[in-house]
Amino acid sequence: MRIWIAAAAFAAVPLPAFAASPADIPAAIYTDPPADKAHPAAMEVVHIPTGDVRINGVVYVPAGAGPHPTVVFCHGLPGLEKNLDLAQAMRRAGWTVITFNYRGSWGSPGDYRFAQNLEDADAVLAFARDPANAKLRIDPKRLVIMGHSMGGWVTALTAAHDKQLLGAAMISAGNMGWLGKLPRDQAVQTLRNNGMEALAGTTPEIMADEILANTDRFDFVKAAPQLAKTNLFVLTSDDGLAPMSNALSTAVAKGGGTGLKSVHVTTDHSWSDARIRLQAEILSWLATLKPVD
């Protein structure tokens, strides 16, 4: 999502450039795992039921009998950056990764709506927990939700009510509730500037009106009390959106959140020149997560 790029610049002191030495980089970033002929790594196309349709998804299954801890990855608006290099790195580290396209996006049937994005994330988690999908080597008791840009918004609001998740990670997240505080014409123009590629059954006007009607519900800062016990990793960049995530982090910390981790990296919204850094941060964080009792 390219939304709000003209927002106020992040004022905190940035972290120094990443020292790309072997000691800093998890081996899964640059080393293929041993082959397992009995249980090889695989890529499976799936169709996940949500609402009255089935949305498109791809599951990256790591080698080994499993079951494997699993990440559900939520893309942004419209989702030009799919972060599939990150998905592959997580698979090499032993994680199953489920990527999917919301209703009305990138060929999934239905009309695109923000509220449905939230419903679709819940549906994908239900799919991951369904014993019928055990063939994908998913461990339903070790699930993480993660998202980039608008997908980070989906991640925050989903983790706020799903207490069985191992953790949640937000990458350069945009707060849709913030957009609802803009005048309608400005909200419409902002959404139009984000591109309507591969979104069906919607217009910038429809999208803006939905946000304006749900400003409080869509504001992830208001979900902070429900995230106080969540293992929450908030990653921000120099895209103008950092203050939104910082507001959430501050609210979670003030509410006694003990599982909060945050990092700011001097890169763009898509982490274009910091892909290895992104993978290293995510893999290192995932390695700290413990199963939910």
Mean pLDDT over all residues of the chain? 92
Name the pLDDT band for 195 (thresholds 50, 70, 90). Answer: confident
Tokens representing 95 are 């994680």
Name the pLDDT band for 293 (thresholds 50, 70, 90). Answer: low
39-286 placed in CATH 3.40.50.1820: yes
Q: Given this model, what pLDDT does residue 112 score?
A: 98
Q: Note if the pTM is more than 0.85.
A: yes
Model pLDDT for residues 116-161, shown as the tens digit of each residue: 999 999 999 999 999 999 999 999 999 999 999 999 999 999 999 9
CA distance 139 to 158: 19
180, 187 Cβ separation under 8 angstroms: yes
Q: Given this model, what pLDDT does residue 263 score?
A: 98
Q: Given this model, what pLDDT does residue 10 score?
A: 31
Which residues make Cβ contacts (< 8 Å) with residue 31, sequence separation at least 6?
92
Q: Given this model, what pLDDT does residue 194 score?
A: 85
| Averaged pLDDT, 227-237 | 97
Q: Given this model, what pLDDT does residue 23 score?
A: 59
| Averaged pLDDT, 192-219 | 94
Higher pLDDT, residue 11 or 285: 285
What percent of the chain shows pLDDT beyond 90? 88
Handedness of CA 219, 225, 129, 58 (dihedral sign): positive
Q: What is the DSSP letter of 105?
A: B
Instruction: Spell out the domain ranges in the chain.
Output: 39-286
Which residues make Cβ contacts (< 8 Å) with residue 247, sequence separation at least 6?
175, 221
Model pLDDT for residues 235-292, shown as the tens digit of each residue: 999 999 999 999 999 999 999 999 999 999 999 999 999 999 999 999 999 999 987 5
Model pLDDT for residues 45-71, shown as the tens digit of each residue: 999 999 999 999 999 999 999 999 999
CA distance 127 to 50: 10
What percent of the chain shows pLDDT beyond 70? 91
Q: Which alpha helices (DSSP H) does 132-183 contain, by range?
A: 150-161, 176-179
Q: What is the DSSP letter of 93?
A: T
Name the pLDDT band for 24 (thresholds 50, 70, 90). Answer: confident
Which residues make Cβ contacts (< 8 Å) with residue 30, sequence separation at least 6?
none
